[in-house]
Chain A
Amino acid sequence: MSFYQGLQAETVSFRGHNGDQGEAYYARPTRAGKFPGVVIIHHLPGWDEWIMEVVRKFAHHGYAAISHHLYFREGSGSPDDIGARVRAAGGVADAQVVGDTAGAMAWLRAQSNATGKIGVIGFCSGGRHTYLAACTLPGIDAAVDCWGGNVIVDNPKDLNDKRPVAPIDLTEKLNCPLLGIFGNDDANPTADQVNRTEAVLKKLGKNYEFRRYNGAGHAFFNTARDAYRPEQAADGWRKVFDFYRRTLASSAASVAAE
Chain B
Amino acid sequence: MCSYIVEKTALVGSAKGRKGWMRIDTANVYFDHPYYSTLDHVLAIDFTNEGEGGRDRVAIELSAESARALIERIQAALASGEAEHPSIAVAAE
A190: min CB distance to chain B, Å: 10
B55 adjacent to A226 (CB under 8 Å)? no
Cα A81 to Cα B4 in complex, Å, equals 15
- Cβ–Cβ < 8 Å partners of A125 in chain B: 2
Count A-B contacts at CB 8 Å. Answer: 69
Cα A172 to Cα B54 in complex, Å, equals 42
- Select the residue from B35, B38, B59 with max chain A CB neighbours within 10 A: B35
Contact bitstring A197-235, B, C-beta under 8 A = 1, else 0: 000000000000000000001110000111100000000
- Cβ–Cβ < 8 Å partners of B1 in chain A: 149, 187-188, 218
A224 adjacent to B38 (CB under 8 Å)? yes
Asked if B76 is at the interface of the complex by the 8 Å CB criterion, the answer is no
Which residues of chain B from 1 to 49 have a CB within 8 Å of any chain A CB?
1-4, 6, 8, 28, 30, 32-36, 38-40, 46, 48
With A81-B57, A84-B59 as known contacts, state yes or no: A124 contacts B28, CB within 8 Å.
no
- Cβ–Cβ < 8 Å partners of B46 in chain A: 84, 88
With A225-B40, A226-B39, A227-B40 as known contacts, state yes or no: A88 contacts B28, CB within 8 Å.
yes
Cα A125 to Cα B8 in complex, Å, equals 22
Cα A83 to Cα B57 in complex, Å, equals 12
CB-nearest residue of chain A relative to B1?
A: A188
- Cβ–Cβ < 8 Å partners of A90 in chain B: 4, 6
B62: min CB distance to chain A, Å: 15
B33 adjacent to A124 (CB under 8 Å)? yes
B9: min CB distance to chain A, Å: 12
Which residues of chain A from 45 to 104 have a CB within 8 Å of any chain B CB?
45-46, 48, 77, 80-81, 83-85, 87-88, 90-91
A225 adjacent to B4 (CB under 8 Å)? no
Which residues of chain A from 100 to 150 have a CB within 8 Å of any chain B CB?
124-125, 128, 149-150
CB-nearest residue of chain A relative to B54?
A: A85
Binding site for B on A (CB under 8 A): 43-46, 48, 77, 80-81, 83-85, 87-88, 90-91, 124-125, 128, 149-150, 187-188, 217-219, 224-227
9 contacts between A and B (CB under 8 A): A43-B33, A44-B2, A44-B33, A81-B59, A84-B57, A88-B54, A217-B40, A218-B1, A219-B33
Binding site for A on B (CB under 8 A): 1-4, 6, 8, 28, 30, 32-36, 38-40, 46, 48, 54-57, 59
